[in-house]
Amino acid sequence: MNDNDVLKLAHEIYFNNQTKKFSLEHVWNELRNDQKWCELATSKTESSSKRRKFADGSHLGASSQVNECDAGVEGTSRPSGVKAAKARGKKPQVEGQDVSDYELMWSIKKDDLAMKQQLSKMRVLEKLLVKENLADYEEDLKKKLINELM
Q: Which pLDDT does position 57 carry in this prediction?
A: 57
- The residues pairing with 53 across neighbouring beta strands, listed in sequence order, are 59
Query: Is 124 part of a structural domain of the chain?
Result: yes
Query: Is 145 part of a structural domain of the chain?
Result: yes
Query: Is 21 part of a structural domain of the chain?
Result: no
Mean pLDDT of 101-122: 94
What are the phi and psi torsion angles at 23 (to 5°)? -110, 5
What are the start-end ranges of the H helices in the chain? 3-18, 25-31, 35-45, 70-73, 82-90, 95-130, 136-149
Share of the chain above pLDDT 90, in %: 18
Q: Name the domain count of the chain.
A: 1
Q: Cα angle at 19 between 14 and 21, to 5 degrees?
A: 60
Q: Among 78, 93, 87, 85, which residue's Cα sits nearest to residue 34?
A: 78
| Distance in angstroms (rounded) separating the CA atoms of residues 8 and 67 | 16
Query: Is 69 part of a structural domain of the chain?
Result: no
| Distance in angstroms (rounded) separating the CA atoms of residues 126 and 112 | 21
Q: Among 31, 50, 56, which residue's Cα sits nearest to residue 41?
A: 31
Query: Is 94 part of a structural domain of the chain?
Result: no
Q: What does the pLDDT look like over 139-148, one tens digit per residue?
A: 999 899 889 8
Q: Would you give the distance in Å from CA 113 to the centre of its chain?
A: 28
pLDDT surpasses 60 at 45: no
Q: pLDDT tier at 2 (50, 70, 90 boundaries)?
A: confident
Q: Which pLDDT does position 64 carry in this prediction?
A: 45
Boundaries of domain holding 146: 118-150
Query: Is 137 part of a structural domain of the chain?
Result: yes
| Distance in angstroms (rounded) separating the CA atoms of residues 85 and 47 | 31
Mean pLDDT of 100-110: 92
Q: pLDDT tier at 23 (50, 70, 90 boundaries)?
A: confident
Among 4-18, 28-42, 54-68, which range has the highest average pLDDT? 4-18
Which residues, other chains included, contact 28 with Cβ-Cβ below 8 Å and sequence gap of 6+?
A: 10, 22
Q: Are 88 and 59 spatial neighbours (Cβ–Cβ below 8 Å)? A: no
Q: Which pLDDT does position 47 carry in this prediction?
A: 55
Is this model's pTM higher than 0.75 or not?
no
Q: What does the pLDDT look like over 47-96, one tens digit per residue?
A: 555 666 566 655 554 444 444 444 444 556 777 788 888 888 887 766 67
Query: Is 144 part of a structural domain of the chain?
Result: yes
Q: pLDDT tier at 14 (50, 70, 90 boundaries)?
A: confident
Query: Is 125 part of a structural domain of the chain?
Result: yes
